[in-house]
Structure 1
Amino acid sequence: MSNQSIGSSLNISQYAPLFFDQKRFQADLEKQDPVKVFRDALDASKSHFKNRFYEGEDIHNLVNELARFADLILAFAWDRYEWQDDVSLIAVGGYGRGELHPHSDIDLLILMKRDRSSHYRSNIEQFIAFLWDIQLKIGHSVRSISQCVAEAKSDLTVATNLMETRLVAGNRQSLLDMLRKTGPDRIWASTDFYKGKMIEQSLRHQKHGDTEYNLEPNIKEAPGGLRDIQLLNWTAKRHFNVYRRSQLVQKGFLTEEEYLTIRRDEEFLWSVRFGLHLIAGRSEERLLFDHQRKLAEMLGYQDSRGRLGIEKFMQRYYQTVLSIRELNDVLMQYLDEAVYRRGKTKKVAVLNDRFVIRDNYIDTTSEDTFRKYPSALLELFVILGENDKITGIRASTIRQIRLHRNFVDKKFRESSQNKELFLRLLKVPFKLSLQLQRMNRYGILGKYLPEFGKIVGQTQHDLFHIYPVDVHTLQVIKNLRRFVRPEIAKLFPVASHIYKNLAKPELVIISALYHDIAKGRGGDHSVLGAVEVTEFAKRHGLQPEEINILNWVVENHLLMSTVSQKQDISDPEVIHNFADHVGSIRQLELLYLLTVADINATNPRLWTDWKGSLINNLYFETKRLLGQGMEVLEKKDSWVISAKTSAVKILEPLGVTQDDAELIWQDVGDELFLRERAEDIATFTKAIYFSESDDEPIILVRDVGVEIPVATQIFVYAKNRQRIFSVISAVLDKLQLNIQDARLQSTSDDQAFDIFYVLDDKDLPIGGDEKLCRFVIKELAEGIKNPNFAEFNIQRRTPRVLKHFSLKTSAKITNKTGGSTTSLEIITPDRPGLLAHLASILLRFKINIHNAKIATLGERVEDVFYITDLDHNPLINDDFNKELQETICQELDARNDFERQDSYTPQKKRRQSNV
């Protein structure tokens, strides 16, 4: 045994939890295998703390008591070996702070006055091995005091760890000597420590995308996570030479409100982390989709009308990390300004009675500015947007904004001066989106527009919308304003031209601000948003015509995206109906701008050149029709004749006469000439005419696009038309090529005349890779010749993240009056082999597919098929249609349920607490 008993060295027995009977534990150690006795105690502690967590006990108590119990176990283990008073067992890091979660590492330092590691080698090895045997997850180091000083000098992380230490067993004086010799007056002075930690934080934030809003965030390391709180603590504590965060209030660094906010946010993240460890059964800091629903249930977030419990939970999470990052930014900047740069201001310029510029940062003239002039809470952001020479806001002013933001109340919102300021803000020439982001971060935007405040941090539980609604909304506005920048204009020339020529660009900005404002309320958010934007416009004195335009754009903000991706925009009737609904070129332009900005702000992978080409085609065709007058509806017959004539002009110099071409075209429907360009029709026709074999499939693979490739076109002319779509879908799926559009024709002798537009798994065309194109042709040809093998040889696994989204399949059949086809819209989870499976169902029901619009939106697909029976008639039998819909839903859901069956189990709920 050591020279110092547990009781004399630490009196650690006072920390023993009530469930732990020390006398019995010590008695058992004398009779039983020590490893078993310690393991039993640890197992009992796990159950004890887990149950207390579920009972809703204060998370600070749990985290602190877990650390104290670890102290007790470690002290008993330490006491099993002989130690002199020159060696001590020290808790470091998070455990040193007295914080421990169920599966956190227990970081230990075996500290010696002098380097006598060789003398204690045997004891140390046995001690560490014993801790492993009893299944404690430890990290350890063995150092003398001088070694600690040397390591801390060269490594900021070591210096930081040594700041947070507690004596577990041994000589307290050694610990005090080490702390004194690694303090800020010896190494890592306060200013150097601050600079090093800011670099460290910047790199850490970059690693996590420099955003709080990842879909599967790391609650410890990501921006706004626990590490941001810890860094703030470390830096301020080192400067003020204090041990507890509460002492920073006494030092005047933290206000009482800031201290309570940090504590509240920390408690929430601790509860999330504690629960995450219990669910994962290991040290897991990532809030994976696998665990989000279980955590939401555990912490008491329940589904309600229009909102899932998991969405409420994630909204609370995002609001919390936003709050933490805001405080981290403000307080670290304040530490730099008020402490390290104190008295070093060089340039001061007076703006007015309320604001001055200090070294390019805006500041208030006094601490009473916002109390005396509440409108200054808006005026500040207007000034920033009208003066691009101002770098930012001083931290002291940000703290004043936070302190006075409750001045933005109903009376404030009704003030004509404030309404004018807000409209003026929407017209500022510089960095509007940045000013709105600042207003959102400091709580002003949600106060001035309470309807906006409701969507702060609000999420949608899917892979399609990767940002909370407020962040997405401000990104849409940022996208709109960026259209005028030369480098962006090259990517979006149409949007750039439109935006530059808008008479009142603030109208599209207001539309963007309100387009998703009603999400999460239940009902149609577009309709509800139109009501909200109308009220805003009336409240701010806009003209009746402007109010009507805003109402229409917000209510129809999804229309252009839907029509371009789900309808056949090569059909003149589709263009006519869309133009009729839009009504004017002005509304078309605003809708186009909002659509492009919206899609690009939803998910970086959502926008593709292919999708852009569809939207651009719809825009230009609609604009042409609106410009000519709605009474001009081009006849399909004239469109077909024009396409054939143009194709023949291309073919004749190549040795294909008009009669030769007409012979090939005689069994192909008019849809080919309505949908495809004359150049493409000529290419297909030439390939068929010069084909040397009637039995071999003709397959062409090439990129298409006007100025740049937007997709890869695959043309297939082959026999066995009925199974072609199923086979090609299976082969392309195996090759990880995603069908964007499929246009399927047939001839009287059962030849398929099919055209597919595909992108690879990075949403790029593949035509530039000749080797890959040859391989695609080879695989397709073999699949067409051996359809049974191709259709059922899909072996790709479903990605992990897709398995955790439950969505019941829906199948909707619609017949349009006078239409030649029936539309079948299917919404279902995205899974490998989905299209091939759907095609096999339609084949069993003896259905022809004429066109397919394929849209993958995160974890789900929204596909539209235009179908007929084998006689090319629409499906009008209600009983038949019902059976088809039910079969599709049953088969796809059974397939999805099989994959998902092991990915989710109901979670025990924690009692309501302060979380």
Structure 2
Amino acid sequence: MKKGSESYEAILRRTDEIDKLLITLFETAEKEKGGLKIALLSQGGYGRRELCLYSDIDLLFLYEGKEKTSLKSFAEKVLHPLWDVGLEVGFATRTVSDCEELMQEDLTILSSLIDGRYLAGDRGLFNNFESMKEKFFSSLALREKFFQQKSKEDEDRWHKYGGSVYLLEPHLKEGEGGLRDYHTLYWFARIAQGLTNPQDFGKNGLLSSEDFHHFWKAINFLWRVREELHRLAGRRQDQLLFEHQETIGRLLGFSNTPQFLGVEQFMQQYYRHAATIRRISKKAVRECLIQSLRGSTPVEHTSEDSHFRIVEGKLSLGTPGLFQKDPLCLLKVFHIARHHGVEIDDSTRGEIARNLSSIDDSFRSSAPAASLFRAMLRESGGLGRMLVQMNETGVLGKFLPEFEKLHFRAQHDIYHLYTVDVHSIFAVGEFEKVLEGKYAESHPTFTEISKDLKRNDLLAFAILYHDIGKGEGKGHVEKGAPLIRRAGDRLGFSSAELDLLEFLERSHLIMTHLAFRRDLEEQNLIIRFAKSVQNLENLNLLCLLTFCDVHAVSPEAMTSWKASLLEYLYLKTREVLRSGDYTPERVSSHLGKIRGAVGSLLPRQNDLEEFDHFFQSMPSRYVMSASPETVAYHLRLWRKLESDRIVFDWRILSREGLNEVTLLTLDTPGLFSKMAGIFTAHNINILRAELSVSKLGYALHTFFVTDHGGLLISDVETWESIFQDLRAVLSGRVRIEDLVSEKFSPSLFKKKVAQKLPSRIDIDNDVSAFYTVIDIYAHDRVGLLYQVTTTLTALGLYVDVSKISTKVDQVADTFYVKDIFGHKITDESRLKRVKEVLVEVLEKEPTPDWRVPL
């Protein structure tokens, strides 16, 4: 692929070739036009001479006369050869009067007419068309109306296509920082300044020579990417899908390094160029508006600092040369803008950019700068927005050089929606929301935690720097610890505070791992975690950091279910920390408390005797973990076993946004895998499974599930159908394999194609006192859990707890297993065999007649 400005040259050559073809076709069709005057014009991207590989060819047949039959015959003579070779051609036939009327009625048509370029035919007719447009542009009222409408369209477009430059799958044309932003600038410049060639943007003061250089380089990069994307997709495709990014990055010359993937370097470059297009086009569009709509008096007032003023709702410099005289104002300007709730205007941003070199090592280590920045972190309201502006202008990276390496840093997985720098700043914004009580209703525990914080600035800085190691490549936790300590020392945090910052950096992934991947009823696990955090203040800080981190990954990352798991881990750990007793023996008093609480929920005295019988038959893990309400609920279901061999019940957990499903029946080998198969057949996702077997041989299995879209299921008929299938399978009338192959339709839920990572199996005999823990990491596919549980059963392993974690394209499933005798699996040869069989299952694509490879 051509590089640099040669991308533009390649597009020009393609445009010229189509021009020649159309001119030839026009001349060939001349005899068909009769007495009509006809001029052929190109429009849209073709009119701007920006014809990418599979772009539409938009044409306008401008005519004068009344012989419509001749016009139709003439147009067909030109168009049919183009259609015959498969070109996408759009066209319109209009008179100059038609165009004028349309422009008066619908200003959106003006965009395509602005781009109208003469190709062939009556030159006088084309000149009339141009004169009509110039007359239209001369009307101040119409210009203002067009500018306002186009600005509103842009706002709507940005919102529709994600509202950010830093999206996982950006739209090259319509997204923020895409080619449409350049088109908007072209239209505004055409109307306000009469520019017809984008190469003139840097010649008449609209853009500085430096801005034009960066802007044109960015536009050319997007054209290069768009060309390759069209070629790769074999059609017009303008959204840079995840599945294409690695290939296009490689085609553009980006290769893997020991620190970063080639595709991550490619996307970093894309984000940098898209941000340049957004920044410069917005600034230049505002300049066009000022030039075009001169005459109105700007609204101006001063701020509390005489060096600044607020003009038209933006902060502006009131003292020339201020940043040279007092470099500390390079920080103070953001503090003042935040106080007034305004943006910083373009001219002031330009002054900031020209003075960034003043932020040197001496500035960064100065006490006034450090004190001001900590004060900015400490104050409430507008912190996230302030950091965004500091990041956009380059001040944040200059003042915090470790953070500069995160700028535009992509994370090549479907889970992370934003670049590392944007994610980190968004996480600080989530912290602000917690402090402001915006999660008081949905997540009250986290809101209550925030009320006890002593140092908001310390936690805000820890959140901002929690992924700082990603600027150094792989192993970001270990690499990030010394970086946050160094930066914190520069900002004047005390030695004890530096220890705390380092602890938060090293520990920021632990709570998600434990909450989403581990059995929280394992008391030893909670005790070990409590020992690692040491005290309640550390736990509070780490919990809030974790909550904000997950929330900032993407709008869907922190589900109600995940929040409830994180809250449960926090509450259990807080209980251990408050008790001051780290011995598991202290929990024995729990039995008496449970008995009393359940007794208060049961209406009759003999119910309590029945409870004793039920409780004594259940395994200790159930006894220690079940809440009184859950025990009373299970006891009511237990009674139904007297009249039915299979008890099946479901209920809605509204707060968590899922369903709890309970099965009570005689335990049989493979019961869990059969349930997984039934849920698979009905396209239901299992998020967690808790499996208990009583001493009497009854299975009490609880599943927490959603539909395939992550929503709870309230349709009674669905549950009735599941129950009927369950009866048929457990009675032996239907084989689970047949049910799955009959009902299961994976094509309905085709997943986004992603870079497929190798499957991995980790087996741990240390994390649990009672179970062997198997962690499975694999590319997700519908029915995977059914295959895994069936395989575990075939290997003679019994699952008591399962946690299912899916990050869009990758699953991380955890199984707590025992052998048939209730013991851990410790034999090395057997563990090796378990790994080998599971890997084979994970790596092979499933077929309708799939069987465990034993």
**Structure 2 residue aligned with 1:193:** 146
Cα 1:818–1:251, aligned 2, differ >3 Å: closer, same or farther? Answer: closer
**Bigger relative CO (Cα 8 Å, ≥ 6 apart):** 1
Query: In the alignment, what sits opposite 1:20?
Result: none
Equivalents in 2 of 1:346, 1:195: separation in Å?
19
Show the counterpart of 1:758.
Answer: 705
Amino acid in structure 2 at the alignment position of 1:64? L
Q: Within 2, Cα distance between the matches of 1:818 and 1:587? A: 24
- Show the 5 A alignment for 1:840-851: 840-851=790-801
Give, in whole Å, the separation in 1 of the partners of 2:173 and 2:769.
Answer: 57
1:211 matched to 2:164: yes
Shift of 1:513: 0.8
* Mapped partners of 2:302, 2:649: distance in 1: 69
Q: How big is the shift at 1:600?
A: 1.0
Contact (CA 8 Å) 1:827, 1:860: kept in 2 or not? yes
5+ long unaligned stretches in structure 1: 1-52, 899-915
Q: Contact 2:365/2:491 (CA < 8 Å) preserved in 1?
A: no
User: What's 1:852 paired with?
Assistant: 802
The residue aligned with 1:524 is: 475
Aligned with 1:722: secondary structure? Answer: coil
Equivalent-residue separation in structure 1 for 2:748 and 2:418 (angstroms): 24
Alpha-carbon deviations, 1:492-514, whole Å to 9, x = none? 22222222332210111011011
1:699 and 2:648 are equivalent in the alignment: yes
> How far does residue 643 in structure 1 lie from its aligned partner after superposition?
3.1
Shift in alpha-carbon separation, 1:64–1:824, aligned structure 2, 3 A: same
- CA shift in 2, pair 1:267/1:709, >3 Å: closer
Indicate how the Cα distance of structure 1 residues 57 and 426 shifts in structure 2: closer, same or farther if over 3 A, else same: closer
The one-letter code of the counterpart of 1:427 is R
The one of 8, 14, 22 aligned to 1:66: 14
The residue aligned with 2:852 is none
Q: CA deviation at 1:367?
A: 4.7
Alignment of 1:168-183 (within 5 A): 168-183=119-134
After TM superposition, which residue ranges in structure 1, 4 or more long, deviate above 6 angstroms? Answer: 54-57
Q: Does the CA contact (< 8 Å) of 1:822 and 1:868 recur in 2? A: yes
Q: Contact 1:700–1:716 at 8 Å: present in 2 too?
A: yes
Shift of 1:220: 0.3
Match runs of 1:114-153 below 5 Å: 114-153=65-104
**Counterpart in the other structure of 1:891:** 841
Shift, 1:453, TM fit: 1.7
SS in 1 for 2:570: helix
Match of 2:688 in 1: 741
> Secondary structure of 2:441's partner?
helix
Which residue does the alignment assign to 2:554? 603
* Identical-pair percentage: 27
Q: Do residues 778 (structure 1) and 724 (structure 2) align? A: yes
Alignment of 1:80 onto 2:33: no
CA distance in 2: counterparts of 1:73 and 1:410, whole angstroms: 61
Counterpart residue identity of residue 61, structure 1: E
Structure 2 counterpart of 1:76, which letter? T
Distance 1:649 1:834 in 2: 43
Q: Deviations over 1:866-888 (max 9, x none)?
A: 10111111000101101111111
Matched with 1:327 is 280
What is the Cα deviation at residue 489 of structure 1? Answer: 1.9
1:357 aligns with 2:310: yes
Q: Secondary structure at the match of 1:531?
A: helix
- 2:416 maps to 465
Bigger drift between 105-114 and 465-474 goes to 105-114
Q: CA deviation at 1:652?
A: 6.1
SS of the residue corresponding to residue 803 of structure 1 reads coil
Q: 1:495 aligns with which of 441, 446, 449?
A: 446
Distance (Å, rounded) in 2 between the aligned partners of 1:350 and 1:803: 52
Determine which of 159, 182, 192 is the counterpart of 2:110: 159
Is 2:827 the partner of 1:877? yes
Q: Give distance in 1, aligned partners of 2:5 and 2:344.
A: 41
* Conservation of the 8 A alpha-carbon contact between 1:466 and 1:602: yes
Q: Aligned AA for 2:764?
A: T
The Cα of 1:701 is off from its aligned counterpart by: 0.9
Q: CA deviation at 1:239?
A: 0.5
CA contact (8 A) 1:720 1:751 kept: yes
Maintained 8 Å contact 1:723/1:843: yes
Cα gap change, 1:63 to 1:410, in 2 (>3 Å): farther
Kept in 1: contact 2:5–2:220 (CA 8 A): no
Unaligned runs of 5+ in 2: 849-854
**Inter-partner Cα distance in structure 1 for 2:94 and 2:752:** 48
In the TM superposition, what is the alpha-carbon distance from 1:405 to its structure 2 partner? 3.2
1:849 Cα deviation after fit: 0.5
Match in the other structure for 1:18: none
Q: Given that residues 680 and 740 in structure 2 are in contact (C-alpha distance below 8 angstroms), is that contact kept between their aligned partners in structure 1?
A: no
Residue equivalent to 2:851: none
Partner of 2:564: 613
Question: Residues of 2 paired with 1:169 and 1:335: CA distance?
Answer: 32
SS at match of 1:852: strand
**Offset at residue 596 of structure 1 (A):** 0.9
Structure 2 counterpart of 1:852, one-letter code: S
- On the 8 A contact 1:289/1:801 being kept in 2, the answer is no
Amino acid at match of 1:527: E
- 2:679 equivalent to 1:732: yes
Change (3 A) 1:636 1:514: same
CA contact (8 A) 2:260 2:474 kept: no
How big is the shift at 1:366?
4.4
Letter in 2 for 1:778: Q
- 1:257 to 2:172 alignment: no
CA distance in 1, matches of 2:5, 2:104: 41
- Code of the aligned partner of 1:624: E
Q: Secondary structure at the match of 2:440?
A: helix
Structure-to-structure mapping, 1:193-342, within 5 angstroms: 193-337=146-290, 340=293
Q: Counterparts in 2 of 1:355-754, with a 5 A limit?
A: 355-385=308-338, 387-388=339-340, 390-519=341-470, 521-631=472-582, 633-651=584-602, 653=604, 655-658=606-609, 660-693=610-643, 696-704=645-653, 708=655, 711-747=658-694, 750-754=697-701
Change (3 A) 1:310 1:278: same
Q: Which whole-Å CA distance do the structure 1 matches of 2:279 and 2:184 have between them?
A: 14
Name whichever of 829-838 and 289-298 sits farther off: 289-298
Give the Cα separation in 2 of the matches to 1:279 and 1:455: 30
Secondary structure at the aligned position of 2:378 is classed as coil
Q: Is the 8 A contact 2:788 2:841 kept in 1?
A: no
Give, in whole Å, the separation in 2 of the partners of 1:131 and 1:359: 51
Contact 2:192 2:292 in 1 (8 A): no
8 Å Cα contact 1:381-1:425 kept in structure 2 = no
Q: CA deviation at 1:115?
A: 5.0
Superposed CA offset, 1:818-852 (max 9, x none): 82210101111111011110011111111111111
Match of 1:9 in 2: none
Within 1, Cα distance between the matches of 2:662 and 2:846?
Answer: 32
Q: TM-score of the superposition, structure 2-length normalised?
A: 0.93
Q: What is the letter of the counterpart of residue 857 of structure 1?
A: K
Q: Deviations over 1:6-51 (max 9, x none)?
A: xxxxxxxxxxxxxxxxxxxxxxxxxxxxxxxxxxxxxxxxxxxxxx
Contact 2:367/2:492, CA 8 A, preserved across alignment: no
Q: What SS does the corresponding residue of 2:492 show, helix, strand or coil?
A: coil
Q: Distance in 2 between matches of 1:478 and 1:88?
A: 56
Structure 1 residues 485 and 300, CA gap change in structure 2 (3 angstroms)? same
Given the superposition, is the C-alpha separation of residues 291 and 423 from structure 1 closer, same or farther in structure 2, using an over 3 Å criterion? Answer: same
SS at the partner of 1:465?
Answer: coil
The answer on whether the counterparts of 2:524 and 2:769 sit within 8 Å (CA) in structure 1 is no
Asked if structure 2 preserves the Cα contact closer than 8 Å seen for 1:742 and 1:853, the reply is yes
Q: Residue 701 of structure 1 contacts residue 777 of structure 1 at CA under 8 Å; is this kept in 2? A: no
Distance 1:272 1:805 in 2: 19
Counterpart Cα distance in 1 of 2:807 and 2:48:
45
Give the residue type in structure 2 aligned to 1:610: W
Equivalent residues of 1:212, 1:224 under 8 A apart: yes
